[in-house]
Amino acid sequence: MDMLTSLGITKDLIADLIINIGSIVVLFVIVKKLAYKPIKKFMDARAERLAAQKAEAEALSEEANKRLDEYNILLAECDNAKSEAIAQGEAIAHRESEQIITEAKRTAEEIIRKANEKAQEDYKKTMGEADDYIVNLTMEASSALLKRAVNDDDNKKIVEEFLKTIDGDKNA
């Protein structure tokens, strides 16, 4: 009997198993009819949204890359313009500095020329005054010599007085 009991339990188990499998199949069919289509529809809609968002993100990325390229081109043009402006500024500054130096040299040469002319005029004037002074002194000395009778002692005194007069005029 033990076998029968064991067979009975086994038959119950098999029957329970078949009922459970049948219940699962029925439940699967019901779930498929009621839940699968809405869930599939939700998942398909979500997939479409994700695909649209991905396409939009790619389009925005392409637009951003396009704008980045345009910005880089503008930046390069600005750098070129800046370099060109600096080069032009340096060239203008160099030309102007050369002009200023040339003008300064010209002005300095003119000042030196005028100073030389003035020095020559002053030299000529001073030499003329010195000549007049020497002539006057010579005439005074000659006049003093001619007024007196000349002997060696007188000549000595006259020369000494003359030298004192010259030294006195130089000090005055």
Residue 89 to residue 102: CA distance in whole angstroms: 20
Residue 156 to residue 148: CA distance in whole angstroms: 13
- Least confident range from 21-35, 56-70, 93-107, 145-159: namely 145-159
Residue 60 to residue 79: CA distance in whole angstroms: 28
The answer on pLDDT for 144 being more than 80 is: no
C-alpha closest to that of 141 among 169, 166, 171: 166
Q: Which residue has the tokens 């396009």?
A: 66
The answer on pLDDT for 108 being more than 50 is: yes
Read off the pLDDT of residues 148-158 as tens digits, 9 standing for 90 and up.
Answer: 555 667 767 77
Q: What is the mean pLDDT of residues 48-73?
A: 94
Over the Cα atoms of the chain, what is R_g? Answer: 64
State whether residue 148 is helix, strand or coil: coil
The answer on pLDDT for 59 being more than 90 is: yes
166, 136 Cβ separation under 8 angstroms: no
Q: Which residue has the tokens 């030309």?
A: 95
pLDDT > 90: what percent of the chain?
A: 45
pLDDT value at position 151?
A: 66
Q: Look up residue 68 and give its amino acid.
A: L
The answer on pLDDT for 145 being more than 50 is: yes
To the question of pTM greater than 0.75 for the whole model, the response is no
Residue 16 to residue 172: CA distance in whole angstroms: 155
Q: Domain ranges for the chain, please list them.
A: 2-171
The answer on pLDDT for 132 being more than 80 is: no
- Which tokens in the block code for residue 147? 């007024």
Residue 53 to residue 60: CA distance in whole angstroms: 10
Residue 48 to residue 55: CA distance in whole angstroms: 10
pLDDT value at position 1?
A: 43
Other residues' Cβ atoms within 10 Å of the Cβ of residue 165: 14
